[in-house]
Amino acid sequence: MTPRATQRLQFHKDFTFADAEKLVAYFAELGISHLYASPITTARKGSLHGYDVVDPTRVNAELGGEDGLKRLVEALKRRDMALIVDIVPNHMAASPENAWWMDVLAHGRGSRYARFFNIDWEADDKVFLPWLTQPADEAQAAGEIDKLGLPKPGAYRLGWWRTAGDRINWRRFFDINELVCLRMEEDEAFEAVHATILRLHAEGVIDGLRVDHIDGLADPAGYCRKLRARIGESYLVVEKILLGGETLALDWQCDGTTGYDFMDQVSAVQHDPAAAAPLATAWAELTGRPADFEIEEQAARREILARSFGAQLEACVKAFAAHAPMAEVSRPALRRVVTELLVHFPVYRTYATANERPAADEPFLSKAIAGAKKTGLASDGWLVDLLHRWFQDKSLSAEPLRRFQQLSSPIAAKSVEDTGFYRYGRLLSRNDVGFDPHRFASTPDAFHAEMRQRLATMPNAMLATATHDHKRGEDMRARLAVLSAKAGPWSLRLWDWVGRLAPLHAADAAMLLQTIVGAWPLDLTLEDRPGREAFAQRVIGWQEKALREAKLRSDWAQPNEAYEKVARTAVLDLLANDKHLALLTDIIAFIEEIAPAGAANGLAQLALKLTVPGMPDLYQGCEYWDFSLVDPDNRRPVDFAARGKSLGTTDLATALSSWRDGRIKQLVTHRLLGLRRARPALFEKGSYEPIDGPDSVVAFSRRLGDDAIWVMVPRLPDQLSVNKDGWFRPPGRTELFEDRLPLSVFSTFAA
């Protein structure tokens, strides 16, 4: 059945199928139709996420095994619910726990599994393993090699991990040496990887699938069509980041994406377009970093390509050279041109195959071509044009294009999400997974156009506002969005605060302060010293990752311990040690000023997710306020007991007066999911009709025959007063809101 609403759960050894089984009644009452599970097949021992699969043929025993899974599903079925499962066809763990991988290391090309993995046997007849913590001769002398547990007459070459980017002859997941990529274009590999999942689907245990990192595959469209043929009309969505007006092709035959695109769209409409330029200018003047994200992105792309993907770039260039239609094409020239194309590529990838050159790729190719000609050597222009033709002409080999496409995707991810977003701090609410970095904000009209397009093309695609991969919780982003309506005063305040945090670098201080302002818990007070210390530790965890991902003053490969100590000390002195008490008092006062407007934004975001075309996904625990930080913070244990206790027992007046505890958000969730449950056809098939109004609201109707609802939410609240019931009212906009209306900040009116 088509899901009505999903609840995403992250399973691991400390949260198992049995734990979820105890919560089924709560999820059912909340209005959820499907649980949406993280990967369930066997991952590395102790895995906290499940994406490092070592055996796709068995349900993970740490989660409860197949018996535990079936007990969970039986509990779901008793409530007319079902299960959607996340699958990982792109990669497995390159680990001694992975029997397939170890067989390849033992037997090389002669292994049954050799063709399962994306190994370049032409580059080397042995697998390069960058598993040594020091150069090979030193590792040998230290006895390190004997401790690895690898097969002896093996088909592998051991090497120092620092040399991986230049020497590796197999495709990794991004630049992670512990994850080896698979070849789903091989029928035998496809069948082996999917056998258990497809069996469980055929048995009625699994009702739908979410495909992880679809862009890593050689032929995403072909893969989706193959999977669709095996699961019939069951729900099928793909993790795919859409940028720059890109849409998911209908011939993929899936129900849509997992919702990063909606997360971006709903965030953009909550930001003021007029703030983009002044905030960018203020950021540049304060930090000395570029005002334009494009400059940061291009620099990051060049750096990431050089440091982490040298071997993959060389393999791509070699493939182009081997199939070049003219002898005059040299490898150095090809390397220059391919590099420039990767630097300027505006989307994750194109989708050329031996039989297809999709027309939808052309606008993005043209942008990359124009950029390559602008920054590359003028004398290479003819070669840029040749590669452009290569992407269009089916008579030319698709093998180089496959390599290029499987390279452009990780370059985009590592350069934008994992580097650029940690270097560019204009406003951190617009830096998240799947967000278009070149678009700061949008208008209600643009949002309406996007929703109508969604209804016309992918009406059942997921609608997400929080995920296991987000960098900032949904309500943290909503609070920071308020700053776009206060760009001038905020910039002046930030400048003052940053100056008080020396010797921390200005850019790091500015990002730290935004993080504190956005993530400060609603129940945390200045007097709560233990609470402040706990919050400081969470912020320190975020800060370490932010500094190392930015790769400016520290790095995962070479941590700058001295500077990281300075940064940690700055956090502790500000949040826990009372060394900057006056500054912290100012910050808390400012947070109190914007918190009501941030909460209004959070509820507006929620109401839109639960009423626009699409299928809403709730990330675990986010029915209460979500001020989480990047993983692992966003995967902390959830207090479901408190949520179960408050559901259905909290009246509106109490929820409004105690809005800080999150029960008002749960109440909105419960009521709107109840509306979806009572009128499923309206939400699945109903029209989407924008309602004219001021820019301070987003309003529309959904209509199916005589059934209709009207939805109105506020937009760009910069300040809100508190009425006698403890709730919020926008000043000067009384004609749009009523004090006593239960949905005074998010409004849904049923006909």
Residue range 5-45, pLDDT digits in tens:
999 999 999 999 999 999 999 999 999 999 999 999 999 99
Residues of the chain with CATH 3.30.1590.10: 99-181
259: left (phi over 0), alpha (psi -120 to 50) or beta: left
Assign 718 a pLDDT band (cuts: 50, 70, 90). confident
According to CATH, where is 3.20.20.80 located in the chain? 6-90+185-258
pLDDT at 748: 45
Whole-Å CA distances, 124 to 15, 91, 157, 311, 455: 42, 21, 10, 12, 49
Residue 747 has pLDDT above 80, yes or no: no
Percent of the chain predicted with pLDDT > 70? 96
Contacts of 449 (CB under 8 A, 6+ apart): none
Within the chain, all domains assigned CATH 1.10.10 are found at 483-592
Q: What is the mean pLDDT of residues 241-254?
A: 96
d(CA 576, CA 584): 10
Q: Where are the beta strands (DSSP E) in 88-190?
A: 91-93, 127-132, 156-160, 172-173, 176-181
Answer whether 269's CB lies under 8 Å from 443's CB: yes
pLDDT at 399: 95
Res. 737 pLDDT band, cuts 50 70 90: very low
Q: Higher model confidence: residue 20 or residue 720?
A: 20
Helix or strand (DSSP H, E) at 517: helix 506-519
* Structural fold of domain 99-181: Maltooligosyl trehalose synthase, domain 2 (3.30.1590)
Looking at residue 82, the DSSP 8-state letter turns out to be: E
Arch. (CATH architecture) of 483-592: Orthogonal Bundle (1.10)
pLDDT at 735 over 70: no
Q: How far apart are CA 388 and CA 368, in angstroms?
A: 9
Pairing of the two strands 721-722 and 728-729: antiparallel
Closest CA to 40 of 283, 209, 256, 263: 209
The model's pTM is: 0.95
CATH superfamily of the domain spanning 6-90+185-258:
Glycosidases (3.20.20.80)
201-239 per-position pLDDT tens digit: 999 999 999 999 999 999 999 999 999 999 999 999 999
Query: What confidence score (pLDDT) does residue 8 get?
Result: 98
Q: What is the mean pLDDT of residues 651-664?
A: 90
Q: How many CB atoms lie within 10 A of CB 380?
A: 17
Q: What pLDDT is recorded for position 151?
A: 87
pLDDT-based confidence at 163, cuts 50/70/90? very high
Q: Is the pLDDT of residue 745 over 80?
A: no
Q: How far apart are alpha carbons 103 and 112 in whole angstroms?
A: 8
Give the pLDDT score at 326: 81
- For 480-513, the DSSP string reads HHGGGGGHHHHHHHHHHHHHTTTTS-HHHHHHHH
Instruction: Assign 654 a pLDDT band (cuts: 50, 70, 90).
Output: confident
**Sign of the C-alpha dihedral computed for residues 32, 430, 514 and 416 taken in this order:** positive
Residue-wise DSSP of 21-69: HTTHHHHHHHT--EEEESP-EEESTT-SSS-SEEEEEEE-GGGTHHHHH
